């Protein structure tokens, strides 16, 4: 059984890119950091920074009260869990940062609590990449055992999760269902892909215009001068769409574009891309939804009227 004194301690399972980035943060703040990785060579750079490399996952867990999980996924954890005994997990809290679906989070929680005997389980969804860990823009959503999440540092020197999460990024509590942070992750991350599809679609067209000259920052200028201000305006427009969704009332008050108009607009965009022999695969699913809404009699609603079709 480890003792917790002298300085805060934490154990990190998985020294891939995110696990290493997070272990580095703890080391920078002077925490006693124990690490474990299946491929032992990946622990070397962290050991050079002061981490202790455990020879097994069980030894890594035994070294601290707070255990951070950063393997690839639930399957990897289940594999590692087969080699663990409750004797090394009892009295410890597990902070699982692995990206997962809601059902995978529930499975990891069940294994951690019911089979391995961890005292508490919290899931964290990291909304950034390893180089931006610790950056104030790095949001991390948390859910699960709120008592463990808010636990302050102990008088015996054991770190509470509260002081650990503050080091990693902007900590945002969701609720006590561990799967909630995973769903929050999905909801926020979806915007990355919808944003990226608009970005890539327009880049494909820009490259076919006279505006585009290779190696002359054409796309960067197009982004800064036109797309960015357009998004600023879009955020304001979507505040009202958010209100409509909250109120479940998509009928236009006369100030927003109607689905009928959106259908016409997106058909015209699709034609413009087809004229330039650019794929419209990213646009047609949206066009099809607008068309279906019109067929179902929702053409006079604003864009929130699409929601019942999803
Ligand atoms: N990187 C990001 O930008 C980012 C952002 C947010 C969330 N995340 C999440 O953070 C988690 C880790 O991501 P990462 O980028 O660090 O991944 P990574 O670089 O691919 O590292 C994966 C880690 O999992 C270990 N692993 C995989 N299968 C295993 C098994 N069967 N048994 C034991 N260990 C196993 C690997 O060990 P070996 O070295 O031995 O292969 C390695 O330590 C993922 O769930 C990811 O979705 C990552």
Percent of the chain topping pLDDT 90: 82
Atom of ligand 1 nearest to the CA of 42: 39
Q: What per-residue confidence (pLDDT) applies to 5?
A: 43
Say how many Å lie between the CA of residue 70 and the centre of ligand 1: 6
Q: Decide if pLDDT at 2 tops 50.
A: no
pLDDT of residue 258: 92
Stretch among 33-47, 72-86, 111-125, 237-251 having the lowest mean pLDDT: 237-251
Q: What domains appear along the chain, each with residue ranges and CATH number? A: 9-176 (3.40.50.720), 207-309 (1.10.1040.10)
Model pLDDT, residue 7: 67
Is the CB of 130 within 6 Å of ligand 1? Answer: yes
Closest Cα to atom 1, ligand 1: which residue? 18
Residue to mutate, 70, 135, 184, ligand 1, most ligand atoms under 8 Å from C-beta: 70
Which among 281, 265, 267 has a CA at the least distance from the CA of 204?
A: 281
259 backbone dihedrals φ, ψ, rounded to 5° = -60, -35
pLDDT, tens digit, 9 for 90 and up, residues 81-98: 999 999 999 999 999 999
Residue whose Cα lies nearest atom 34 of ligand 1: it is 38
Q: Across residues 116-126, what is the average pLDDT?
A: 98
Give the model's pLDDT for residue 6. Answer: 52
Q: Distance (Å, rounded) from C-alpha 83 to C-alpha 57?
A: 8
Q: Is the pLDDT of residue 215 over 60?
A: yes
pLDDT score, position 156: 66
Question: Rounded to whole angstroms, how far apart are CA atoms 301 and 251?
Answer: 5
- CA geometry: angle at 144 spanning 26 and 194, to 5°? 85
pLDDT value at residue 159:
72
Please provide the average confidence, as pLDDT, over all residues in the chain.
93
d(CA 264, CA 146) in angstroms, rounded, equals 49
Q: Ligand 1, closest atom to CA 100?
A: 45
Element (H, E) at 47: helix 44-48
What is the band of 125 on the pLDDT scale with cuts at 50, 70, 90?
very high
* Tokens encoding 232: 């600023």
The verdict on the CB of residue 19 being under 6 Å from ligand 1 is yes
pLDDT of residue 3: 44
**Beta strand spans in the chain (E):** 9-13, 32-36, 52-53, 66-69, 93-96, 120-126, 139-144, 170-173
Ligand 1 center from residue 69 Cα (angstroms): 9
Find out whether the beta carbon of 42 lies less than 6 Å from any atom of ligand 1. yes
Decide: pTM greater than 0.75: yes
Segment 264-282 shows an average pLDDT of 97
Q: At what angle do helices 102-110 and 179-206 cross, to 10 degrees?
A: 150
Lowest pLDDT segment from 24-33, 147-156, 168-177:
147-156
Phi, psi of 221 (to 5 degrees): -70, -45
Residue 299 CB less than 6 A away from ligand 1: no
- Mean pLDDT throughout 63-82? 97
Q: What is the pLDDT of residue 174?
A: 97
Could you tell me the two tokens for 271?
């034609």
Question: How remote is the CA of residue 43 from the centroid of ligand 1, in Å?
Answer: 13
State mean pLDDT over 237-250.
87
What spatial distance separates the first Cα and last Cα of the chain, rounded to whole Å?
Answer: 52
Closest atom of ligand 1 relative to the 18 alpha carbon: 16
Confidence (pLDDT) at 80: 98
The closest alpha carbon to 11, from 108, 92, 132, belongs to 92
Which residue, judged by its Cα, is nearest atom 10 of ligand 1? 98
Number of neighbouring beta carbons within 10 Å of residue 158: 20
Residue nearest atom 5 of ligand 1, based on CA coordinates? 129
| Averaged pLDDT, 206-232 | 95
Choose which residue among 11, 16, 53 to substitute to test ligand 1 binding: the one with the highest number of ligand atoms within 8 A of its C-beta.
16
- Top mutation candidate among 15, 17, 18 for ligand 1, by most atoms within 8 Å of CB: 18
What's the pLDDT at 1? 39
**What's the CA-to-centroid distance between 20 and ligand 1, angstroms?**
10
94-109 burial by CB neighbour count: b if 16+ within 10 A, else e? bbbbbbbebebbbbbb
In testing the pocket of ligand 1, which one of 12, 14, 45 has its CB within 8 Å of the most ligand atoms?
14
Band of pLDDT at residue 157, cut at 50, 70 and 90: low
């Amino acid at each position: 059984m480890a003792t917790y004194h002298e300085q805060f301690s934490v154990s990190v399972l998985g020294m891939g890119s995110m696990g290493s980035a997070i272990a580095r943060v703890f080391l920078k703040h002077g925490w006693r950091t124990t690490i474990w990785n299946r491929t032992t060579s990946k622990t070397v750079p962290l050991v050079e920074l002061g981490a202790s490399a455990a020879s097994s996952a069980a030894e890594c867990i035994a070294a601290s009260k707070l255990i951070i999980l950063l393997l690839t996924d639930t399957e990897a954890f289940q594999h590692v869990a087969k080699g663990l005994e409750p004797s090394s997990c009892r009295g410890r809290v597990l902070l699982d940062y692995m990206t997962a679906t809601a059902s995978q989070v529930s499975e990891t929680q069940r294994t951690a609590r019911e089979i391995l005997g961890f005292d508490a389980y919290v899931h964290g969804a990291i909304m950034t990449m390893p180089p931006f860990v610790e950056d104030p823009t790095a949001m991390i959503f948390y859910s699960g055992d709120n008592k463990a999440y808010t636990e302050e540092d102990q008088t015996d020197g054991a770190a509470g999760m509260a002081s650990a999460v503050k080091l990693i990024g902007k900590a945002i509590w969701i609720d006590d269902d561990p799967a909630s942070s995973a769903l929050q992750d999905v909801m926020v991350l979806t915007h990355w892909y919808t944003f990226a599809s608009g970005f890539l679609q327009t880049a494909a067209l820009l490259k076919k215009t006279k505006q585009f000259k290779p190696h002359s920052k054409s796309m960067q200028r197009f982004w800064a001068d036109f797309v960015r201000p357009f998004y600023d305006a879009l955020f304001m427009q979507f505040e009202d769409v958010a209100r409509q969704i909250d109120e479940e009332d998509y009928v236009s008050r006369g100030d927003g574009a109607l689905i009928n108009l959106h259908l016409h607009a997106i058909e015209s965009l699709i034609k413009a891309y087809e004229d330039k022999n650019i794929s419209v695969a990213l646009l047609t699913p949206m066009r099809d939804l607008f068309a279906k809404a019109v067929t179902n009699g929702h053409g006079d609603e604003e864009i929130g009227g699409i929601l019942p079709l999803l």
